[in-house]
Amino acid sequence: MEKPPLPNDEDGSVLAESRSDTALVAADEEGSAGADGPEDDRPAWDSKLQYVLAQVGFSVGLGNVWRFPYLCHQNGGGAFMLLYVLLLLIIGVPLFFMELAAGQSIRQGSIGVWKHISPRLAGIGYSSCMVCFFVALYYNVIIAWSLFYMGNSFQYPLPWEQCPVDMISNQTVKECASSSPTSYFWFRKALDISDSIDQSGEFNPIMTGCLLAAWALVCLAMIKGIKSSAKVMYFSSVFPYAVLICFLIRGAMLDGAVEGIKYMFYPKLEIWGEVQVWRQAATQVFFALGLGYGSVIAYSSYNPVHNNCHRDAIMVSGINFMTSVLASLVVFVVLGFRAKNIALDCVPELLAPLGILHNNVYFIMRHPPPGVEGTGLAFIAFTEAMALFPASPFWSTLFFLMLLNLGLSTMFGTMQGILTPLMDNFRVLGRHKTMLTVCSCILGFFIGLLFTQRSGNYFVTMFDDYSATLPLIIVVVFETFSVAWIYGADRFLDDVEVMLHWRPPVIYCYLWKYVCLLGMVGLLAASLLRMVFKRPTYTAWNHTTGSETSLEYPGWALVMLSMLIIVASLPVPIGYLLSFLRGGRSLPVEEGEIEPPRERYSKCNSAEPEPNNHHSPLDEDRNRPRSTFLPLGAEHYRLLPQQEEGEEEEDTGL
């Protein structure tokens, strides 16, 4: 996309409207020229539908199916939903819109976006890449579990419907008799889990094979970038909705479904007074939209520069919330059916002395058995309920195929948050996209073997709880501060207005500067205090008693989880410190890394100079011209008078 020469430009230089600084330099060095040059080299979505499906597929993940329903169950049902919507509107949507606008305009990954604002902020992008890598390691293990269960669903009866019999004693296996068939199949047959994280044990060969298959699926779908993964999105993003609707219709016909729905929507407003509930709601908003991963920025960077990203932010956020509600309806309908069956079988004689027989179903809903949290909801509680369905293998296969697609669509976005920034900032990697994708998947598989040993589930819990939460909150705090205060919220909104051809509501300025920033700082403080005052624990399986128990992490595990947090967060201060020590100049360019020419153009107006009301502190330190954050139209730029002759020749080559 080339523009006509500026009227007031004596040498008739041509500027690319939406081309990133990275693409400019890459074109110079590779000798690209003309209208068919560097802009055409960057992939783009074939249609708006592809892009929307990709963003929805990334944001709607496994957490919508098991974490959101669990939080509703634990925190007052309808009251938690109201709190979630409130935080989604005042924190989630503004931050989501901010990331979409930044990626779409600068057309680079997370590293390039924050380096574009200031070289001192380049560490934000590297932290996002590290967190994405950690998440990808354990997230693909969950996909491997789904593959294992889906493969075991093609038999009747389902292998987790009944306890196995010991061939020697001809009696039911003690571990299964002490727990339940679904718990025994999950902990013993699928995971072959040890009693603690200290007992690593040997590798689980079946689960190792499933992990290899999971990484192979991710690699094949992403081997050609968004061109290949976008085609997979047509199925992986839409299929889960068809399955959820089928489950809802089938579940609504079950005995106990009404009780489950009533329990879900009944509001307990008193929980609004608990700080813990606010922390959990804010955390769920934060992770549901995928803020801080860099994947949102990466996906939006392949959009046309004038795409209405404000509408996209509201639409994707709304779809995400409605998906969580739909999944919660399915879960509560099934749990209501499960509770009704348990009540009819055994509750009367247990609760008769208490005189609450008429509330037996609600009593079971309020006091669910172990395993209704996190992965246990899908692999224990839900499988137990599906075993009671007519044609149970069909519903089980459908359910785990849905989990597989939910996981894959999120995995695609997570990997894109790693690959796009690296390819945008390192020429060598950008020239070998296929090799980078394959090597990343191979590396992920070999490191992921940590999760396929007998204690692997405990490491999945560790990574899920500590490798992403604190580092991502830190990343988003710096993102918000850099846009709202370093670059300037008003200035950012001015640039968005030029990009969209209309001005978003001014309330976004106040939300970015105060509400979002204070909310994220409060969430960071609450998470840190929780870690300091409550020693980290994990839930272990005791094979002797056939039950779960809470154990404290040993010393070496505490060091490991601390290192996860430090390694993921460290690029932010390191990037700032290195840039500060070099007097605010850009970091030295490593071999193969692209150095954007950030001082070559300055925003101006053909009628009168633009008042410099939005200088950032970092600009004042440098005391030099500042390139605008979001690309504007050709009429807003002119070549700086101090441009050297060599630079003019370089631009002419474009």
Average pLDDT over residues 429-449: 91
* Count of positions (residues) in the chain: 654
| Residue 64 assigned as binding residue | yes
Helix (H) or strand (E) holding 100: helix 93-106
Task: Report how far residue 141's alpha carbon sits from residue 468's, in angstroms, rounded to the nearest whole number.
Answer: 16
∠ at Cα 594 (592, 596), nearest 5°?
165
- 602-632 pLDDT, tens digit per residue, is 333 333 344 444 444 434 444 433 444 544 4
- 273-320 pLDDT, tens digit per residue, is 788 888 888 888 988 898 988 889 989 988 888 889 999 999 999 999
Task: Report how far residue 471's alpha carbon sits from residue 465's, in angstroms, rounded to the nearest whole number.
Answer: 11
Q: What does the pLDDT read at residue 133?
A: 93
- 314-353 pLDDT, tens digit per residue, is 999 999 999 999 998 988 888 787 777 766 665 555 444 4
Mean pLDDT in the chain? 77
| Residue 140 assigned as binding residue | no
Q: What does the pLDDT read at residue 451?
A: 93
| Residue 405 assigned as binding residue | no
Per DSSP, the residues of 253-280 read TSTTHHHHHHHHH---GGGGG-HHHHHH
**What are the structural domain ranges in the chain?**
48-584
**215 or 37, greater pLDDT:** 215
List the alpha helices (DSSP H) in 303-462: 309-345, 347-351, 360-366, 375-376, 382-386, 392-425, 427-431, 433-448, 456-462
The structural architecture, per CATH, of the domain 48-584 is Orthogonal Bundle (1.10)
Task: Report how far residue 43's alpha carbon sits from residue 46's, in angstroms, rounded to the nearest whole number.
Answer: 9
- Residues 6 or more apart from 614 whose CB is under 8 A from it? 487, 488, 490, 491
In this model, does residue 50 exceed pLDDT 70? yes
In this prediction, residue 9 has a pLDDT band, given cuts at 50, 70 and 90, of very low
pTM of the predicted model over 0.95: no
User: 221 with 229: CB under 8 angstroms?
Assistant: yes
